[in-house]
Structure 1
């Protein structure tokens, strides 16, 4: 089971198990248990690396101070043998909720003092919430036992980047957020927004050896983790990053620490605090006692945050706080208070990204003054307008603002990305190509029509420091116009044809083939626009040129991915292939490189999972076959049972299509014959007389289906000499039913045999056969998707030309003539009507208005 399948299975089971417990609360229980499992198995892994054996493990007791001190030095904490997660699993039905309570209490007293800030109180939310798992100790024990068995198979290998544990944890958090309503915003920033902010920050910080990053409203910690991963990919050393986090709500603060620790971040690199960011600036003081002695202001390379939107705060006496030297945010809207806090903690060469509601761009009063100060002091680098409804729990429009402590450029880049998203259930979602499009314009600081614009400080001053995005970037579709002359006389206006200039530049001979110049307008005399476009020499050359440009991609991808897939750095290769693909199609007009990148990313979602399996298990995993476990109802309960087999990496249908084609074709031939028989039976029914249908028990009351048992009886009674067409039809129908039964039985037998043959084929694959199948799974579909992009461009033009032609096909004179004809017809019909004197007088008046007599 790959990580997506395992995560999905755990989520579905956990969502059922939570019963009436709110999703926002239940997440704390299951995520807490996962974290405890992680700590427990991390301890075991490090002990075994120090030559401990299974027989040595029972020595892990608090009564053995040497072992306690050794484990604390290795891990930062100590868990006794009786409290290990693996011990809980071994206890089976003897496991009780008291085991959890005892273990969590023991954990608290056995933390290494040097790492107390990382681990102290980290299980408080889980500890206090255990009572909600059931009404008594027995039901609580069962609920906890179910959770333990649900998560016991999650691998905990501690890899830094896209590890299974981190993926599952993020998957669960995002799904709980989707089910938590408005409370979701307290702990989760959608991963796509995190990735957007991460790429902007990582681009700015590339090349630095030691980096400090800070999130003052850390939630689950996912934003910090994404930033850290993006920075580490560019700088190569994940251990060179210090993570600072502050969170107001205790349970969410615990979630932050758990998430950071589980991503393999060293405890020494985690500095977290549970506190009110605006009230108690942090980390000014290591302790709240003796403030004067421990004053230690924090300045970092990057600050990232998604603070609560427009919440109340207390601005009393904040004038003397150096964080708010640019102004005091109103007490009913703390948005700029959070922004100024973030900006204060930046180093001179640092960068920050913050998610804010759209209102901060144009609201007046104190906020207007703060905005003016930020603009005049050159702090705002970019404003990115996001799609609405992109965050869980709120549909309000939001922005990402990018700020710097010091910059020379006095322009602000305004980006309107509000139109770039896909629907994902109830929410909108940024695609990988949308993120890349935004990051590219921010990193290159450039203007792109209808998307981004560099705005001078003089223009912003002229607008009284109003930064509302539509003032600067118009991303709306052009309003449709109607040409009066063409509406009256027909033809296609030349100005509207010239609006398709990018196509005529790419295919110079096409316009003359499509349109005839009749002086005032163009005429389009072709009935089949698509054929003219597709047969055009320039269009065909365009398709050929594009195909040639990407023709070398399969060979390159085979070299990069297929030759030694177990050694591939999935994330690094996607970036490298993306750059290569950009270079390949750079000279091709009309094809959007971001469309090509999205095709790559869509394919990569599956490729990367396979690469991860092969990377952790070796190339032989390509020959692995696993039981296909499904949940079925038995005695009213959900039971997991085996339903055939699945390839760990190679899908059965792919292997059958590529290597067992004859066997598959034989089955598909029989299946098509079954479909043909269904049609023949339907034809027989339609040919029967209605009286025969109603008088025969072999046909149902609706007359649209045979009754199997009655049909057999009727055919038996008819014997070998049917006397009528109806009887011959019944006999033929029975023969077809018999043939279907035999075919279906044969298909089932052949399917079972093919599945067994597929299992054996996968297990016996040669290395070269395996590589050919990986190529067929990974590369061939991607290449076909990329090759289809020019056709999408061509189809778009065909649609536009057809729309232009149809728009003016009916002139105003034609419409008037149609109206006249309709009025005359109506007047004539009115003459046939009769009624009383009053009615007839009304009808005569209507006829006169219509022009009738």
Structure 2
């Protein structure tokens, strides 16, 4: 039984993290990623005789397995990796991590155990069918580990990784897509671990020729490994400082490329140290000595062909800083090279917490360019631990808006070059100068506070709702006087009135219908998932159609609906698809025993437990949760169980109520009050004593009644337990009786469709609650005029004076 992808990665990370000890994550990643590399190329060599990587005898992962438990395991691993490196010209690439380093891995038995466990962890991974199944298991595992290592490494050491979400934006806005040819080229002059280049390459299904350069030796080695791990063995990744020693040259000129992407280090102060040959890069001005941002930008510009395009991540300072940078910026704008600017949220990147932007360069038809397209995407994000991340909807919206040059109020606009050049702006590209993305100020209306009524301008601001529900405004409000209105009902009744309105119910029904139409249109496609399915293509196809279908719907933002699908995809559906691809529909639906691995400190929470104590069997149902089985096949039994559960709750409530009433001073259960907790055993014991000592008959009667209540409660709870056990056993048996058509119905209709429809319904309800909250806020704000408040104050003052007079206190 294949594990879910998310479980596979999380267990891999937890296992590795357990064994890290005191080593810094930035160092530990070298060991983990080297083992991942050896495991992958060994698996691939078994499955593909034409593999470009030669795995020699004595240089495979199997040789590593044979070294488990050996006192000399560290030295043996080093020799195995050296053989693999020697056979493939990968010396100083895959052999940088020293597996015999006692300072990092411990001495003697500690090193022996740590490395043996690490090798065992990687033995659980099988990459032989990774790409043949249409799902890049290895690439995703590498991405998962790299993101975690970047997070753990901190600001100073996390610069080797560009978040995948940002990488996808760069690839899409620079123009790489399905039509990109294999002979076209993409270049990253500061490629780090290569993650950005590979995300860009993933957007070109026909292939694209990859070039990159990286200064740091260890990170360059990571990039070389990364390319091989992702099937891009022929990528040219060179080593060296891009500014002082560019490796891609043609005589005295820089080589040029069709596309370039980059996430260079921000504001490097020593960029020009050792610079001898400028390669004509600074024809539009020399960057300041203490800031290298424009050095990288100009290098990239020079490295583009005459129709070349680039997207570069830079700090916002490049948009507005003065002096030498202002001169460069002005000349680039006059040449028409800057096609667009995209402002991103703060704290996205691992090397810095400051906000950054994407500068999009385009040499094609540059002289004819008359404006700069700007997007302020700084507000679209989600929190992820101590970092921010772009959501799926943020990525899609940025790309859609930029590529279609769509102007959206407070989000995007085409800024004419004439406006940028205007003396008041003086070629300053700071985004807030041109796009005001702040929320409109909620202005208090003094006239309304004095004379009552809700200002019509506040109601007009809710126009989206009135367009979706044309009659609703007239139902909720009536004219007070020109430009002011009153609620026709109490503030507390607004929510129910909206929910009950025919227009809202019609709108909700139409959204449900649209969701069903969309799902039905793709049901056959989803039902056909098999080992050859391409998950990324599948979700792209159905999600783009979802966006198109919801675009005309008033009030509801199609990107919010899209986000609901993508969130569910990343959390649940992708794992489900992965399981079906690997195990088939029937195989993926089979229950499996939970993992209990004490050595790796891993354990799974069971979905269903049959039996008790040591004889219990704990099961995981990865594809079809037990509640779906119960809901479809055992609804009557579940209904009976619900009734028994209600009876048990009532029985417990009767016990608590009786104890609370009588276990008080002078109460019938006063004899039981001394104990900290009253229980059946305590009450039974007290009853025996009371009868033996001839206590008050009323107390004896009360104790007897309480014992009976406890017996009823106990019997009710036992009935619940038995009924639950019977349902669990029946559900477990039902899994074995399922046909493939049953599994498809349960997954497609009861799980995927029902869950997503519920999520979209929650979006509709959320919109309604936002309207209710605003109306209630306005209703409360202007519910009382100043004159009414003053009258209330005078009345209260009179009452206070009267009370003080009665107390003999003179107030005047």
Say whether the fold is shared (TM-score over 0.5).
yes
Distance in 1, matches of 2:475 and 2:670, equals 65
Checking the alignment, whether the CA contact within 8 Å between 2:139 and 2:229 is kept in structure 1 is: yes
CA 1:723–1:614: 2 relative to 1, 3 Å: same
Q: Bigger CA drift: 126-135 or 25-34?
A: 126-135
The corresponding residue for 2:256 is 299
CA distance change for structure 1 residues 33 and 566 in 2, over 3 Å: closer, same or farther? closer
Pick from 358, 365, 368: which aligns with 1:400?
Answer: 358
1:98 deviates by: 1.8
- In structure 2, the partner of 1:154 is 125
Residue aligning to 1:838: none
Structure (1/2) with the larger helix percentage: 1
- Among candidates 302, 319, 323, match of residue 344 of structure 1: 302
Asked if residue 487 in structure 1 is aligned to residue 455 in structure 2, the reply is no
- Are residues 1:121 and 2:89 paired? no
| Pairing 1:607–2:579 present | no
Name the structure 2 match of 1:383. Answer: 341
Q: Measured at CA, do residues 173 and 519 of structure 1 come closer, stay the same or move farther in structure 2, by a change above 3 Å?
A: same
Select 1:628's aligned residue among 561, 585, 594: 594
Which residues of 2 match residues 565-580 of structure 1 at below 5 A? 568-580=533-545
CA change 1:202–1:184 in 2 (3 A) is: farther
Question: Which residue number in structure 2 is paired with residue 272 of structure 1?
Answer: 237
- Greater mean deviation of Cα atoms: 820-829 or 18-27: 820-829
Aligned residue for 1:516, secondary structure, equals: strand
**Cα deviation 1:96-125 (Å, max 9, x = unaligned):** 2121011122223222xxxx3xx3321233
> For the Cα contact (< 8 Å) 2:342–2:375, is it kept in 1?
yes
Greater relative contact order (Cα 8 A, min sep 6): structure 1 or 2?
2
**C-alpha spacing 1:91/1:209, structure 2 compared with 1 (3 Å):** closer
Could you tell me whether the CA contact under 8 Å between 1:40 and 1:79 is conserved in 2? no
When residues 694 and 441 of structure 1 are mapped into structure 2, their CA distance, relative to the original with a 3 A threshold, is: same
* Match of residue 476 from structure 2: 514
1:103–1:682 Cα change, 3 Å: same
Work out the CA distance in 1 between the residues paired with 2:649 and 2:65. Answer: 51
- CA distance in structure 2 between the aligned counterparts of 1:273 and 1:492, rounded to whole angstroms: 67
| Counterpart position of 2:70 | 94
2:55 to 67, 78, 81: 78
For residues 359 and 184 of structure 2, the distance between their equivalents in structure 1, rounded to whole angstroms, comes to 21
Instruction: Tell me what 2:331 maps to.
Output: 373
Aligned residue among 267, 272, 290 for 1:315: 272
After superposition, the C-alpha distances for 1:248-281 in whole angstroms (9 at most, x for unaligned) are: 211111111222211222x22x111221111111
CA distance in 2: counterparts of 1:100 and 1:347, whole angstroms: 46
1:424–1:42 CA distance, 2 compared to 1 (3 A): same
Q: TM-score, normalised by structure 1?
A: 0.85
Correspondence for 2:784 among 795, 810, 820: 810
Contact 2:190 2:264 in 1 (8 A): yes
Given candidates 106, 125, 137, the residue that maps to 1:135 is 106
**Deviation digits for residues 408-438 of structure 1, max 9, x if unmatched?**
3221111111111122222222110111111
Q: Note the C-alpha offset of 1:201.
A: 3.0
> Matched residue of 1:323: which SS?
coil
* 1:685–1:209 CA distance, 2 compared to 1 (3 A): same
Q: Tell me the residue number matched to 2:626.
A: 652
Give how far 1:86 is off. 2.1
CA–CA distance in 2 between the matches of 1:531 and 1:695?
Answer: 46
Task: Choose 669-678 or 246-255, whichever is displaced more.
Answer: 669-678
Secondary structure of residue in 2 paired with 1:690? coil
Tell me how far 1:822 sits from its aligned partner.
Answer: 5.2
- Which shifted more, 95-104 or 528-537? 528-537
- 2:13 aligns to what? 11
C-alpha change, 1:85 and 1:363, in structure 2 (3 Å) is: same
* Contact map agreement 2:664 2:670 (CA 8 A) in 1: no
Residue of structure 2 equivalent to 1:257: 224
Count of aligned residue pairs for this structure pair: 785
Q: Retained in 2: the 8 A contact 1:646–1:652?
A: no
Q: Which residue of 2 aligns with 1:329?
A: 287
Structure 1 259/828 Cα, relative in aligned 2: closer, same or farther at 3 Å? farther
- 1:42 paired residue number: 44
Shift of 1:377: 1.2
SS state at 2:357 partner: strand
Contact 2:99–2:105 (CA<8 Å) still a contact in 1? no
Counterpart of 2:379 in structure 1 is 419
The aligned counterpart of 2:614 is none
- Look up the match of 2:547: 582
Task: Decide whether the 8 Å contact of 1:83 with 1:103 is kept in 2.
Answer: yes
Instruction: Provide the C-alpha distance between the structure 2 equivalents of 1:440 and 1:722, rounded to a whole number of angstroms.
Output: 83
Q: String of CA shifts for 1:592-638, please: whole Å, max 9, x gaps.
A: 111111111122222222222222333332342221114569xxx94
Once residues 331 and 91 of structure 1 are traced to their aligned partners in structure 2, the CA distance between those partners, rounded to angstroms, is 53
- Partner Cα separation in structure 1 for residue 701 and residue 33 of structure 2: 69
Q: Determine whether 1:592 maps to 2:557.
A: yes
1:772 paired residue number: 745
1:458 to 1:140, Cα distance in 2 relative to 1, 3 A: same
Q: CA deviation at 1:162?
A: 3.8
Q: Is the 8 A contact 2:63 2:80 kept in 1?
A: no
Residue 211 of structure 2 contacts residue 237 of structure 2 at CA under 8 Å; is this kept in 1? Answer: yes
Does the C-alpha gap of structure 1 residues 173 and 819 become closer, same or farther in structure 2, counting only changes over 3 Å?
same
The separation in 1 between residues aligned to 2:790 and 2:277, in whole angstroms, is 73
Identify the range of structure 1 (389-398 vs 719-728) with the bigger mean alpha-carbon deviation: 719-728
Q: CA deviation at 1:445?
A: 1.0
Q: Are residue 554 (structure 1) and residue 519 (structure 2) matched?
A: yes
Q: Displacement, 1:84? A: 2.1
Query: Structure 1 residues 89, 516: CA separation in 2 closer, same or farther (over 3 Å shift)?
Result: same
Q: CA deviation at 1:94?
A: 3.3
Query: Matched residue of 1:93: which SS?
Result: coil
Distance 1:465 1:514 in 2: 50
**Which structure 2 residue ranges, 5 or more long, are not aligned?**
607-616
